[in-house]
Chain A
């Protein structure tokens, strides 16, 4: 064996490894990478076929009624029966909330519980990635995923209305409002579900807990609102009850801000109440972010 000139001679084992002294990715680039990875994971992209069944299935469940409604709008307008969409854009999320709940319940534990279970967090943190970056990336990915899930059917409905020849200006304003509402829906749903999922490393338990919180709170609030609004004839009190479930909370903001009809027996009773709904919505998102950063400060490496 002959040594290349200039190589150290006293070294016993030199099998030619070289250090890397090129450019390294920054903290931001890694966060962005984690974000895209989590977003793709939420829809099962880059994972086994059976992991795609639920997300894609829920996507189809959410999209199908929108396609049917768009066709109905076009046919109805041609027959001179319709001059506005059958279902207002802002109500779509409320009507399809069971599918939304199942989607976030499956996607959020997928995003965070498995990292806890298989202790992958130390591997992430071995890079120049801070704990808070992890939280931000996961939250942003989940919010984007829910937003995609909600926005695509809304756009389909909107295209249907345009094709039907409804008043384009009015429809554009309506769909813009619904998209703003969808941003709030996705922020609230994503942050709550990620927070719940971050407390368990068992996927099944996380799924059950998230759906229990979302479905049970909605079912309790809407039936309580029904009793109070119709039997006690007290729609103001019924409106305030809407604060206590994530879906009715955001719906209340839509009702107040855009003047649309509520999907539940009662919306916020006054402008002040509407403002409170908005503040609580933003508060929930901020509070869950704070709670998540605290939670992840304690995860052992």
Chain B
């Protein structure tokens, strides 16, 4: 970790208007929970279904996409990354520092609101904790995956969207095998293991899910660092 890089990345990602936009997005999740509570009597199963549909299948992937690419994409875009790369700092340290900011943003602006929303919807403490753990797993893996994608290709946002919207929801609902390669299902498996039984169902075994989350996170962090070693700057078409 490098404190200066952490500070600069946080400034770039959350500085000025962006913090308000991301904060509004986080607040939206809580507002939805309050609105649902006011409009309908919500059982714990409903709360779980709602959180799954809104937080896990849309909010977390999009949030991970925004912070994961936002941690490094602007610098690669305008070429100022060369100033950072020219410093005597290991590329792995750069990636880890940027990732720390991204995961920090996910915790503050996605995991906490998800837990708040669960609490507002009347879920028990164990369910709230379960959704928090699942959201953390999903958010962290999405952040590192999209950070890696940004280093690998200039079209990271588009590829990330196709993955989050088409692979995970559309293909995953038709082809069961695709769910093994879905971050959302891994996270749901974590949630399932903590939540009261029968509340959430996941299609990936718990051991496999934990292995994939931890292994994927570590491997992607390392690979992002080594890809940053070989980064070439190309101009926009």
Contacts and interface: CB of A to CB of B under 8 A. Distances in A.
A48 interface: yes
B39 interface: yes
Main SS of the interface on chain A?
helix
Interface in B11-41: 25, 28, 32, 35-36, 39-41
A220 B77 contact: no
Interface in B89-111: none
Contacts of B49: 223, 226-227
A208 B66 contact: yes
A176 interface: no
A98 B165 contact: yes
Nearest to B166: A98
Interface in A215-241: 215-216, 219-220, 222-224, 226-228, 231-232, 234, 237
Interface in B52-90: 53-54, 57-59, 62, 65-66, 69-70, 73-74, 77
Interface in A71-109: 98-99, 101-102, 105-106
Output the residue of A48, A105, A224 with the most chain B CB within 10 A.
A224
Contacts of B156: 204
B40 A227 contact: yes
Interface residues of A, number: 34
B199 interface: no
Given A98-B166, A102-B165, A224-B36, A207 B158 contact: yes
Contact of B69 (A105, A208, A224, A231): A208
A61 interface: yes
A227 B54 contact: no
Contacts, number: 96
B58 A216 contact: yes
A208 B40 contact: no
A53 to B, nearest CB: 8
Contacts of A220: 28, 32, 54, 58
A204 B77 CA distance: 10
A51 interface: yes
Q: Size range of the interface on B?
A: 35 or more
A216 B169 CA distance: 13
Interface in A29-64: 47-48, 50-51, 54, 61
A6 to B, nearest CB: 50
B161 interface: yes
Contact of B166 (A48, A61, A228): A61
A222 B36 CA distance: 12
Contacts of B57: 219
B8 interface: no
B42 interface: yes
Contacts of A61: 166
B162 interface: yes
A262 interface: no
A211 interface: yes
Nearest to B62: A212
Contacts of B165: 98, 101-102, 211, 215
Given A212-B62, A212-B66, A228 B39 contact: yes
Interface string B42-54: 1100100110011
Output the residue of A106, A224, A227 with the most chain B CB within 10 A.
A227
A7 B69 CA distance: 64
Interface string A127-152: 00000000000000000000000000
5 tightest A-B CB contacts, nearest first? A232-B40, A219-B58, A223-B53, A204-B157, A98-B165
Interface of B: 25, 28, 32, 35-36, 39-43, 46, 49-50, 53-54, 57-59, 62, 65-66, 69-70, 73-74, 77, 155-158, 161-162, 165-166, 169-170, 237
20 contacts: A50-B155, A54-B155, A61-B166, A101-B165, A102-B165, A102-B166, A203-B157, A204-B157, A205-B70, A207-B157, A208-B65, A208-B66, A215-B58, A220-B28, A224-B36, A224-B50, A226-B49, A227-B36, A231-B40, A231-B43
Given A51-B237, A203-B157, 16 more contacts: A102-B162, A202-B77, A204-B77, A204-B156, A212-B62, A212-B66, A216-B62, A219-B54, A219-B59, A222-B53, A223-B53, A224-B36, A231-B41, A231-B42, A232-B39, A237-B39
Interface of A: 47-48, 50-51, 54, 61, 98-99, 101-102, 105-106, 202-205, 207-208, 211-212, 215-216, 219-220, 222-224, 226-228, 231-232, 234, 237
